[in-house]
Amino acid sequence: MGPRRVAVTQANSAARMPDQDPESPRHAASPSERAANPEDENSRLTELVMNLEEKVSSLETEITVLNSELEECRQVVQEMASAFGGGGIADMRCEMEQMSIQIGLLQRAVSNVPAVAPDAGARLRIPEPKAYSGARDAKEVENFLFDMEQYFLAASVEDEARKVSTATMYLTGDAKLWWRTKYAEIQANQVRLDTWALLREAIREQFFPENVEYNARRALRKLEHTGSVRDYVKTISALMLDI
């Protein structure tokens, strides 16, 4: 085949190939195409090399950071070894053993201490009872005796002698004068008031008005409604308490 025929054949082949759209996707180049287009091949290789260089540079940076952190760790380990080196660790173990022994002794000492119940009176602020001045009024006498019994209960006063001494501290006026006379009789062994029950009965006998119920019923029969309804009801209620 002569040169002229080869040229005609190539021209016909080129005429049969459709025109390619520059915007259409590029198909993978075959080895023969890459050999026919050395400039495109050089560009592709250059791009690959640049990508590899970027990756290598990134890896080198990471390796540098890791080496720096590793060096810091080594320095910390060396400092700790210097601080606790030699007999330091042994000394610390010895101190820990001694502390463990002391803790054990303290635990034994605490376990041997008997449990003490807290005093309820010490935790609560108990209001003191109102003093009694010796008024011959049945309600005042009974209120004083009732308040003292409630105080004994709240303050956990159980000893009889203590109850007597506590109750007499709240006597004032005529009641205090009466108690001074009784106290002299107690010292002379003429009378016995060493329990709360005996003192309570002595106070009632001395200051409780006679014929309280009789006088209350008599006053109730003579009561007339002359004032307000409120005062009338209040008077009736007071008289009923004495019956």
Q: Name every residue whose Cβ is closer than 8 Å to that of residue 126 and which is 6 or more positions away in sequence.
A: 151, 154, 155
pLDDT for the residue numbered 196? 96
Q: Which residue type sits at 85? A: G
**With contact defined as beta carbons under 8 Å apart, do 155 and 126 qualify?**
yes
Helix boundaries (H) for the chain: 3-16, 31-36, 38-84, 88-112, 120-123, 138-154, 160-168, 173-187, 196-207, 212-222, 229-241
pLDDT for the residue numbered 102? 74
Separation between Cα atoms, residue 101 and residue 84, nearest integer Å? 23
Separation between Cα atoms, residue 151 and residue 167, nearest integer Å? 10
Within-domain flag for 195: yes
Within-domain flag for 86: no
Within-domain flag for 178: yes
pLDDT for the residue numbered 67? 80
Q: State whether 203 and 231 are in the same domain.
A: no
Q: State whether 184 and 240 are in the same domain.
A: no
Tens of pLDDT, residue by residue, the chain (243 residues): 444 454 444 444 444 444 444 444 455 555 555 555 667 778 888 888 888 888 888 888 888 888 888 788 778 767 766 666 555 666 767 777 777 787 777 777 766 655 555 554 456 688 899 999 988 888 899 999 999 999 999 999 999 999 999 999 999 999 999 999 999 999 999 999 999 999 999 999 888 876 556 566 776 777 777 778 787 777 777 656 555
Q: State whether 236 and 168 are in the same domain.
A: no
Separation between Cα atoms, residue 115 and residue 56, nearest integer Å? 75
Within-domain flag for 113: no
Q: Name every residue whose Cβ is closer than 8 Å to that of residue 128 and which is 6 or more positions away in sequence.
A: 151, 170
Within-domain flag for 88: no
pLDDT for the residue numbered 172? 94
* Structural domain span for residue 69: 48-78
Q: Name every residue whose Cβ is closer than 8 Å to that of residue 135 and which is 6 or more positions away in sequence.
A: 141, 207
Q: State whether 205 and 215 are in the same domain.
A: no
Within-domain flag for 180: yes
Separation between Cα atoms, residue 191 and residue 178, nearest integer Å? 13
Within-domain flag for 122: no
Q: State whether 135 and 173 are in the same domain.
A: yes
Q: State whether 200 and 214 are in the same domain.
A: no
Q: How many domains does the chain have?
A: 3
Q: State whether 183 and 243 are in the same domain.
A: no
User: Within 10 A of 183 (CB to CB), how many other CB atoms are there?
Assistant: 13
Within-domain flag for 111: no
